[in-house]
């Protein structure tokens, strides 16, 4: 999972990209980069680390031009090395910069095909380099033209759709043309466009992984880029768009459950509202378990930050006091997306401190967004017990995650998923909880899309994947190799 942004039609393109990336920082903390373009060519800054550490007043001054793209990285393909930091850049044909949010299932086989069939030599260890090479190969067919036409761009993107299997929301910067954005035919990863009336009277455009990054920059009239759609915006501000290929729309449910900012709206479903509904619907499952076990809770305690909204709604439905008594150390990053199990386990105790007076001798209902590996959940339960809780139950607003994700959430291996081969009782014993309560799958769907117009991707819950999964063995092997480099 990553965050992407692109802006065109303003001399503040790079500075807005910087602010936008800061607002997308929750989507990845491994690395960050910005690429801009003007008449003198491309201008480039990228490095490992947080946005605030990568960019300085000095290097930002070099990012001139009225068009820019940017990226924050959370690696799911390729090691945490400078060569894998986006934007990626190619100089033929034209000059192409590209940022990508998603994950390719056929990463390894596609790399081999690019080398043997198209004589292209990917140098990085990233599926994003496959996408930029496919896009460039499609454009190379019409390289005799000074700048590509919209039809040329459509042909190039369709070539990517033909070859790339997986999730990808893309923003490209094509030298001499402008911005080109597209989204995989299933719409697995989000991508939104907005526009803004500048003081000059000119209209500028921006694209980003989440609407929150654009609204804080003064953009409005948001539109989700549709699955299988290309949107091209040239340097004169002309916008052309076309749907090239479509499948059943399957946006990832984990965006609402965990990843996206509560200030964002995705596919017409506000994240904040969805999390409220997740809490309300969770109440029914909790009440059923309370009746079975004969338990009454003294306090509902959220696991910061993501679960807070749902926990408030759940507490209101249960008529049980809500207390924020796990106090977060603001300087510790999100534990789920740390790059090794050891780091995640160490981070939990550093990240949260319990308020002993509010936990001692209480029957506590802990609420979190999900249970993936069980690492964080187990440590949290241990922490609350050490604080003197009489009983500890654990409620997850996401149903049991039993299957790997191959589309950009970093759990591609079945063996690491606590619910994969354990019964509910087995999960409770492993976590050390008096009880574990999961959200129901249908309740999740209704919370995200009450009008049932869209069925989100829930492959990690059901094992039903929207795309072919022929390359997953290579994908898992590669991710194992990447992780071993962190140890």
| CATH code linked to domain 270-465 | 3.40.50.2020
Q: How far apart are CA 8 and CA 6, in angstroms?
A: 7
Nearest to 227 by CA among 467, 487, 471: 467
Alpha-carbon dihedral angle through residues 9, 13, 16, 20, given to the nearest 10 degrees: 90
Q: Percent of the chain at pLDDT above 90?
A: 81
- Range from 217-231, 309-323, 328-342 carrying the lowest mean pLDDT: 328-342
**Highest averaged pLDDT of the listed ranges 142-151, 212-221, 468-477:** 212-221
Overall average pLDDT of the 159-188 stretch: 98
Q: For 214-257, how does the pLDDT look when each residue is reduced to its tens digit (9 = 90+)?
A: 999 999 999 999 999 999 999 999 999 999 998 999 999 999 99
**Residue 93 — pLDDT band, cuts 50, 70, 90?**
confident
Structure tokens at 252: 């990832």
CB neighbourhood size of 119 (10 A): 8
CB neighbourhood size of 128 (10 A): 29
Overall average pLDDT of the 345-372 stretch: 89
> How are beta strands 435-438 and 299-302 bridged, if at all?
unpaired
Output the pLDDT for position 487.
Answer: 47
- Range from 178-182, 367-371, 466-470 carrying the lowest mean pLDDT: 466-470
Q: For 432-459, how does the pLDDT look when each residue is reduced to its tens digit (9 = 90+)?
A: 999 999 999 999 999 999 988 899 999 9
List the chain domain ranges.
3-250, 270-465
Output the pLDDT for position 349.
Answer: 65
Question: pTM higher than 0.75 for the full model?
Answer: yes
Q: For 262-310, how does the pLDDT look when each residue is reduced to its tens digit (9 = 90+)?
A: 999 999 999 999 999 999 999 999 999 999 999 999 999 999 989 999 9
Overall average pLDDT of the 458-463 stretch: 97
Q: How far apart are CA 267 and CA 223, in angstroms?
A: 9
Q: Which CATH class is domain 3-250?
A: alpha beta
Output the pLDDT for position 486.
Answer: 47
Q: Percent of the chain at pLDDT above 70?
A: 93
Tell me which residues are annotated as active site: 2
**Residue 475 — pLDDT band, cuts 50, 70, 90?**
confident
Is the predicted pLDDT of residue 473 greater than 90, yes or no? no
Output the pLDDT for position 94.
Answer: 86
Mean pLDDT over each residue of the chain, to the nearest integer: 93
Q: For 108-122, how does the pLDDT look when each residue is reduced to its tens digit (9 = 90+)?
A: 899 899 999 888 887
Is the predicted pLDDT of residue 482 greater than 80, yes or no? no
Q: How far apart are CA 92 and CA 114, in angstroms?
A: 15
Is the predicted pLDDT of residue 382 greater than 60, yes or no? yes
Is the predicted pLDDT of residue 484 greater than 60, yes or no? no
Fold matches, 3-250 and 270-465? no
Output the pLDDT for position 147.
Answer: 85
Output the pLDDT for position 337.
Answer: 52
Is the predicted pLDDT of residue 327 greater than 90, yes or no? yes
């Amino acid at each position: 999972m990553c965050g992407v942004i692109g802006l065109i039609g303003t001399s503040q393109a790079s500075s807005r990209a910087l602010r936008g990336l800061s607002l997308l920082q929750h989507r990845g903390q491994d690395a960050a980069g910005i690429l801009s373009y003007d008449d003198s060519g491309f201008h480039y800054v990228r490095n490992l680390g947080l946005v605030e550490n990568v960019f300085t007043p000095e290097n930002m001054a070099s990012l001139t031009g009225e068009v820019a793209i940017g990226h924050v990285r959370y690696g799911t393909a390729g090691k945490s090395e400078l060569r894998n930091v986006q934007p990626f850049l190619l100089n033929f044909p034209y000059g192409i910069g590209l940022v990508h949010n998603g994950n390719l299932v056929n990463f390894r086989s596609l790399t081999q095909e690019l080398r043997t069939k198209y004589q292209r030599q990917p140098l990085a260890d990233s599926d994003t380099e496959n996408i930029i090479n496919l896009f460039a190969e499609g454009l190379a067919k019409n390289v005799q033209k000074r700048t590509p036409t919209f039809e040329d761009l459509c042909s190039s993107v369709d070539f990517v759709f033909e070859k790339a299997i997986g999730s990808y929301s893309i923003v490209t910067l094509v030298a001499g043309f402008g911005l080109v954005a597209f989204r995989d035919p299933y719409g697995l990863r989000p991508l939104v466009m907005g526009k803004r009336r500048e003081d000059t009277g000119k209209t500028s455009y921006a694209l980003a992984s989440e609407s929150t990054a654009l609204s804080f920059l003064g953009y409005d009239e948001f539109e989700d880029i549709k699955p299988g759609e290309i949107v091209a915006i040239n340097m004169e501000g002309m916008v052309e768009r076309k749907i090239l290929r479509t499948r059943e729309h399957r946006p990832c449910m984990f965006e609402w459950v965990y990843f996206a900012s509560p200030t964002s709206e995705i596919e017409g479903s506000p994240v904040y509202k969805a999390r409220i509904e997740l809490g309300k619907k969770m109440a029914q499952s909790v009440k059923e378990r309370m009746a079975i076990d004969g338990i009454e809770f003294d306090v509902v305690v959220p696991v910061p930050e993501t679960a807070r909204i749902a926990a408030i709604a759940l507490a209101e439905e249960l008529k049980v006091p809500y207390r924020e008594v796990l106090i977060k150390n603001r300087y510790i990053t999100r534990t789920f997306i740390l790059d090794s199990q050891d780091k995640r386990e160490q981070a939990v105790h550093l990240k949260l401190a319990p308020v002993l007076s509010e936990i001692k001798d209480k029957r506590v209902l802990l609420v979190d967004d999900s249970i993936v590996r069980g690492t964080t959940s187990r440590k949290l339960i241990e922490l609350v017990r050490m604080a003197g809780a009489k009983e500890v139950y654990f409620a997850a607003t996401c149903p049991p995650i039993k299957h790997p994700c191959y589309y950009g959430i970093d759990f591609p291996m079945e063996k690491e998923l606590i619910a994969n081969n354990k019964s509910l009782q087995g999960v409770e014993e492993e976590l050390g909880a008096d009880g574990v309560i999961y959200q129901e799958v249908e309740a999740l769907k209704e919370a995200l899309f009450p009008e049932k117009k869209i069925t989100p991707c829930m492959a990690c819950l059901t094992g039903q994947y929207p795309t072919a999964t022929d390359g997953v063995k290579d994908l898992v092997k590669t991710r194992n190799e990447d992780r071993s480099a962190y140890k």
